[in-house]
Amino acid sequence: MRASRDESEQQALQLLVTKRFGMAAATYGLALLLTWITVAAGFYQAPVETAIAGSVMIAASQLIFFWVFYRGHNLRFRDPSLTEPQVLVALVWLTFFLFNLGDNRGSLLVLYVLVLMFAVFLPPKNFLRYAVLALFSFVGMVFFDAQMGYLNDPQTALLQTGVLLVTLVWMCLFVGYVYRLRQRMRQRRFALQAHQETLRGMMRQLEDLASTDELTGLYNRRHFLRKAESELSRLRAGHQSGLALIDLDYFKRINDLHGHAVGDRVLQTFASVARSCLRDDDILARYGGEEFVLLLPNTDAEQFRACCERLREAFANAQPPEGNMQAGHLSLSVGLTLLHEGDDLDESLQRADDALYRAKGNGRNRCETSWAPVNA
């Protein structure tokens, strides 16, 4: 169950990061379009072969990223989105593109913001690295043009550098704010999850209280009837379950002679003995007063009767909870019936009750069945 949930979460994560990659790939498609618009308009100051090389670089990088995402290799990394490699590739391409625009590059400074927008969810220190790289890339291009004598308007270049610096500083502050906001949201989510776990625990406790008899720790009558109906609905032809009503003999006399506190301990003694005699899948409940009800799934008449006899004998040999009570004073009577496909639960309980009535009428401390003996 846990493995299935982990696999489902991993598939959801992969779908999300693949969509993000799709957005990045679409942005690169627009970048290719922009490249050839500048070539056609005469703004591109390098040979056409250079534009072709830049286009090939974009296509090759995206094919490599697509293969990594398609094969699921990205899930091996701490950041499955591969944000930092993608931002680094984008900055390298952007530097190459702007370098070939010469004095026209100032009009496209906004592309730095576009590239760095994909990195806004990185930790602030990581984002700062790429912001510094972007600034140094632009300053490097301006400095290279100045050294080579290509810089026609130094004041405009200085203004562009200042605008880029202010923009990158603002983005760094914004990323820091977003990071702190995400940290607070994560803490609140963890706190909410902890509260939800507490509430689930309280709900389980309430369910236990609603389904359990406080004195014996066994199921109560209402919960038993619900589970018995469910078990009966699952029965198929050729399968049967055992249903028994159990009554502790002379329980009123025990209460009258030894007190209700001792009577309560007798009920607890029976519950403890019964748990040691039954399987985990068997369903035992306190039906009311000193009467209990037992459901054994997937059994037959012989096994069911043998189980009830073991329970009867174990209770008869149990140590009395009161010193004044002598050993052998504990006994019980059992009425047994079998459940088959299509049986009505109320009618089945009535059959078990009739068998219990016969057990008491025949001297108590015995098991009586509602079906005919095999040798009859």
What positions carry a catalytic annotation? 290
Alpha carbon distance 243, 353 (integer Å): 10
Residue 18 CB-density burial (10 A; 0-12 exposed, 13-18 middle, 19+ buried): middle
Nearest partner of 90 among 142, 16, 28, 139, judged by Cα:
28
| Residue 121 to residues 126, 174, 338, Cα–Cα distance (Å) | 10, 10, 65
User: In angstroms, rounded to a whole number, what is the distance separating the alpha carbons of residues 286 and 294?
Assistant: 9
Residue 144: both structure tokens together: 């290279």
Sign of CA dihedral 130, 136, 139, 145: negative
Query: Where are the extended beta strands (E) located within 153-274?
Result: 241-248
Asked if 330 and 316 count as a contact pair (C-beta separation under 8 A), the reply is yes
